[in-house]
Amino acid sequence: MALTQECNTEPSSAKNALNFTPHEIRYLKFSWEKASTAVDIGCELVARLLNDNRTRFRALIESHSGDLLGSADFSAEDVKKYRRARIVANGVVMFFNQVISELDDPSSAEHIAHLSQKLGASHFRMKVWFQAENWLCVKKCLLDAIMSALTEKKSNFFACGKTIAMSEKKARDVWYKVIQFVIQNMKKGFLAEALSVDSSSTSSIGSE
């Protein structure tokens, strides 16, 4: 099964595509299930973002919630104490539940791209401003959170009597491909929304 979607705004050398074998799709589905039951993936991700000063995520949560988070390192349990941080964590899990549920669909790339672009656009509307480094940090923190969860719970899974096994390197590559695809399309949606707002503002000024 090949899932492909190209982003025409990207150079040909950086195609925005998903190409998975049936085995890789099964692995992604079962590894997500195992990882998300082994730990609270959403809270783990938010904790990593809060602890990475490059993301400025701590200041973002404070500005949207009024909470003062201080400078101490956060654990997943700490995240649960703050309503806004907990909402973000739950949103991450819900989003990836949707992404993983789409993988068997022949049009999954289009659906996942659409979901990701909508998410990117909503971040712009919520004034969650992203710089280039922010996108990279989110991608790294998300990948690390998932792989850390799989390390806690062995990533060899059984389904219908068959083993779904994958080396750690291969598993990381497969998950990187999913996360890269999501982030690229979030960026696309974010920028499209920014351009739309800018165009509307320019039109309003011109009509005055």
User: What torsion, rounded to 10 degrees, do the Cα atoms 147, 151, 155, 156 define?
Assistant: 160
List, for residues 77-100, the tens digit of each pLDDT value: 999 988 888 999 999 999 999 999
Tokens representing residue 181 in the block: 């695809």
List, for residues 128-151, the tens digit of each pLDDT value: 777 778 888 899 999 999 999 988
Q: Give the other-Cβ count within 10 Å of 14's Cβ.
A: 10
Task: Quote the CA–CA distance of 144 and 45 in Å, as a whole number.
Answer: 8
Residue 204 in this model has a pLDDT that exceeds 60? no
Task: Quote the CA–CA distance of 125 and 193 in Å, as a whole number.
Answer: 8
Task: Quote the CA–CA distance of 140 and 133 in Å, as a whole number.
Answer: 11
Task: Quote the CA–CA distance of 84 and 68 in Å, as a whole number.
Answer: 12
Phi, psi of 126 (to 5 degrees): -85, 5
Residue type, 190: F
Nearest to 113 by CA among 59, 49, 169, 182: 182
DSSP state of 164: E
pTM of the model: 0.81
Could you tell me the pLDDT band of residue 8, with boundaries at 50, 70 and 90? very low
Q: Which CATH topology does 20-197 take?
A: Globin-like (1.10.490)
Which residue has better confidence, 3 or 144?
144
Neighbouring residues of 67: CB distance < 8 A, sequence distance ≥ 6: 61, 82, 84
Residue 191 in this model has a pLDDT that exceeds 70? yes
